[in-house]
Structure formats: structure tokens, C-alpha cells
């Protein structure tokens, strides 16, 4: 991206998080990520709502599909790792919601013996979701020239950013100042 100082007629893309060209570029991708995350969550909720009368947030919907992934039961630790989440109480809340809707079943007992898998109803719902996803989202994606290559590049970039954010989050946590 060109520096705002070098293109006087360009939009002013500086803000408190972006005081120089590199910061502007990083702020732009972060802002795009925020918008994409929200749009993705809305898409997930609307797609699921077209299949079943069940109000689920984007992360709850994602949890259902992660549980279904590879058609193998998952522990809560597996779910947290696969979703790159640490908020176990929120994951447990989502699981209770999915169980209450009859989409997921809890099996086993004890701390490490509990797994979650989709029920026959959950299997039907995720299959119908996949059908709607294919007819709407995948069809839309197919209409964009060179989109498979763009997706590959975006995936690599997002994976790289995930690693960078994970590392700097560890550094920030390590050197956090104590509260006054």
C-alpha cells in the first residue's frame, strides 16, 4: 500500500493504530479480518437457520462442524485445540446448547474420558448445511476468476498471521505489567 503522505489525494488511512505505512498495512488487514470474522459468523448463522430452527452463534456453529470433522468423537481439549480457543467455559456453554438441541451427544465420564460427537439429527443438519453451503457459497466462489489460487494464498497468509499473533500474544502475556 502506498503511504498516505505520498498520495495526497488518497483516502486518509491513518488512525491511532496506524502512524506509518507498515502500521497502516497491518491495521488494514486487521480491520479486514474483523469484518470478515463478523461476516463469516453471520453467514454461518443464516446458513444453519435455513436448515434448522436453532439460534446458534458463529462459534457455536463452527463447534458443531468441528465435532463432525472426520466423523470422530472429540474431547473438549481436542475442540479447544482445533478451534484455537482457550475459553473452555464458553466452549462448555456451546456444547450444552448443542446437546440441548439434540445435535451433539456427550459420551464417557471423568475428566479425560468425555467425548462429543454428532447425533443422527446433527449428522442430518450438517449434511443439509453442506448442501446449502455448496449451492450458495461454493457457487459464488466459483464465479471469481483465479479464486482457488487466491484462497491458497489467503490461507497461507492467515496461517502466517495466526503464528505471528500467537507469538506476540505470548510475549505480551510474559511481559504484562501488573495492575496498579
Res. 47 pLDDT band, cuts 50 70 90: very high
103: nearest Cα among 142, 51, 153, 146: 51
Res. 17 pLDDT band, cuts 50 70 90: confident
Across the chain, mean pLDDT equals 90
C-alpha grid cell, residue 163: 503464528
Rounded Cα distance, 66 and 64, in Å: 6
Supply the pLDDT for residue 9: 57
Note the pLDDT tens digit of each residue in 162-179.
999 999 999 999 998 888
> In the chain, what percentage of residues exceed pLDDT 70?
94
Res. 11 pLDDT band, cuts 50 70 90: confident
Grid look-up 473438549 returns 76
**Residue 2 predicted with pLDDT over 70:** no
160: nearest Cα among 69, 29, 17: 29
Half-sphere exposure of 42 (CA within 13 A, CB side): 6
Supply the pLDDT for residue 15: 81
Where would I find the H helices in the chain? 21-49, 58-68, 76-83, 88-100, 120-133, 139-142, 147-174
pTM for the full model? Answer: 0.82
**Residue 97 predicted with pLDDT over 60:** yes
**156 or 10: which carries more pLDDT confidence?**
156
Amino acid at each position: 500500500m502506498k503511504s498516505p503522505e505520498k498520495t495526497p489525494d488518497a483516502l486518509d488511512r491513518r488512525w491511532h493504530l496506524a502512524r506509518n505505512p507498515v502500521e497502516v498495512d497491518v491495521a488494514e488487514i486487521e480491520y479486514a479480518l474483523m469484518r470478515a470474522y463478523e461476516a463469516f459468523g453471520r453467514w454461518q448463522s443464516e446458513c444453519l437457520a435455513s436448515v434448522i430452527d436453532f439460534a446458534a452463534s458463529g462459534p457455536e456453529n463452527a463447534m458443531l462442524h468441528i465435532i463432525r470433522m472426520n466423523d470422530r468423537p472429540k474431547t473438549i481439549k481436542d475442540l479447544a485445540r482445533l478451534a484455537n480457543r482457550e475459553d473452555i467455559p464458553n466452549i462448555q456453554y456451546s456444547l450444552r446448547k448443542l446437546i440441548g438441541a439434540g445435535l451433539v451427544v456427550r459420551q464417557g465420564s471423568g475428566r479425560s474420558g468425555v467425548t462429543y460427537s454428532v447425533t443422527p439429527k446433527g449428522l442430518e443438519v450438517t449434511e443439509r448445511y453442506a448442501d446449502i453451503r455448496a449451492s450458495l457459497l461454493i457457487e459464488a466462489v466459483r464465479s471469481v476468476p483465479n479464486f482457488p489460487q487466491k484462497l491458497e494464498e489467503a490461507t497461507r497468509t492467515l496461517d502466517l498471521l495466526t503464528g505471528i499473533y500467537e507469538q506476540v500474544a505470548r510475549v505480551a502475556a510474559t511481559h504484562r505489567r501488573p495492575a496498579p
